Amino acid sequence: MYLGDATWPEAGVELAETSTALVPIGSTEQHGPHLPLSTDHVIAEGLARAAADPAGVVCTPTVNVGVSPHHRQFHGTLSVDAPVFRDYIESLSRSLVYQGVDRIVYVNAHGGNVQHLREVGRRLHDDGTAYAIEWMWDESIPDLVGSLFEQNGPHAGPKETSMVWHLADLVRADQLEAAREDGCPDITAIETTRNGARIFYDAIENTHNGGFGDPTDASAEKGERLFEAATEQLVALAEWLDAQPWETLGPKPHVRERKRSGRSRSNRKR
């Protein structure tokens, strides 16, 4: 069930049947001249809503703005400070716990959110509040992604272009060649590290128009294959998570001290 469409009595019935929620999280940021600023949250919401009913879990409304300072030079990009984002997601998660949810999948479609979502998951796990994990759609189907595209790219490339093409009529097809030519089609051709250190902060340092990869290799048909495969992975994850006893998910107790022969610690000489 998508909670945003439910009445409160309907939500109560559904929440009584599951302990798991899918929380779609994206960004509002540049994705080259051919994709909308909404790319990441369109993908995240599409996957979460498609997986919720088959998995028998609930899906929350989407978090549309994430941590995107590395795209700040491009018009329209919105971002929140990382500590604010972490606190917001943690507060949202604790609200879900109050509603009876104790396991959460952050259905994430933006790389800049990853480390912060994992930190929130750590906080909730350490105090025994909930078991919350971050899930990135393309990381669930790496072999398929690798087989479909020769020059994939981590941002605004053919995989995201294909997904948006499948989900929404928002791809500017007349800009695909320009996106490739004025972007960074081959990320292996640029120097991103030196002596083991990452040497860039913002996307604009490596791409004039914000794109990475070759979006001319995208299609709605490829997007459908990606979407169906990733949805299948998310359903399986949610079903597994919902079926786990809390004892296997909650924080483990401190290790017990082994018994020692001889005098006890309190009787030893200082």
Hey, where are the domains in the chain?
3-250
With contact defined as beta carbons under 8 Å apart, do 238 and 20 qualify?
A: yes
pLDDT tens, position by position, 68-108: 999 999 999 999 999 999 999 999 999 999 999 999 999 99
Q: Where does the pLDDT of residue 5 fall: very low under 50, low under 70, confident under 90, or very high at 90 and above?
A: very high
SS3 of residue 149 by DSSP: coil
With contact defined as beta carbons under 8 Å apart, do 157 and 213 qualify?
A: yes
Tell me the pLDDT of the chain averaged across its residues: 94
pLDDT at 257 over 90: no
Please report the pLDDT score of residue 145 as a whole number. Answer: 97
SS3 of residue 5 by DSSP: helix
Least Cα distance to 134 among 121, 143, 144, 151 occurs for 121
| Mean pLDDT on 21-27 | 98
What is the distance between the alpha carbons of residues 32 and 86, in angstroms, rounded to a whole number? 27
51 phi, psi to nearest 5 deg: -90, -25
The pTM score is 0.93
Q: Where does the pLDDT of residue 270 fall: very low under 50, low under 70, confident under 90, or very high at 90 and above?
A: very low
User: At residue 236, what is the residue type?
Assistant: A
CATH fold of 3-250 reads: Rossmann fold (3.40.50)
What is the distance between the alpha carbons of residues 240 and 229, in angstroms, rounded to a whole number? 17
pLDDT at 112 over 80: yes
Higher pLDDT, 256 or 101: 101
- CA 196, chain centre distance (Å): 26
Residues 6+ apart with CB under 8 A from 269: none
| Mean pLDDT on 33-62 | 98
**Of all residues in the chain, what percent carry a pLDDT higher than 70?**
96
Least Cα distance to 234 among 45, 96, 101, 107 occurs for 107
pLDDT tens, position by position, 202-216: 999 999 999 999 999
Beta strands in the chain (DSSP E): 20-25, 58-59, 103-108, 131-136, 193-194, 197-198
- Take residue 247 and report the two structure tokens written for it: 């004892």
| Mean pLDDT on 4-13 | 97
Q: How many Cα atoms within 13 Å fall on the side-chain side of residue 35?
A: 37
Element (H, E) at 120: helix 114-126
Q: Which residue has the tokens 């690798």?
A: 146
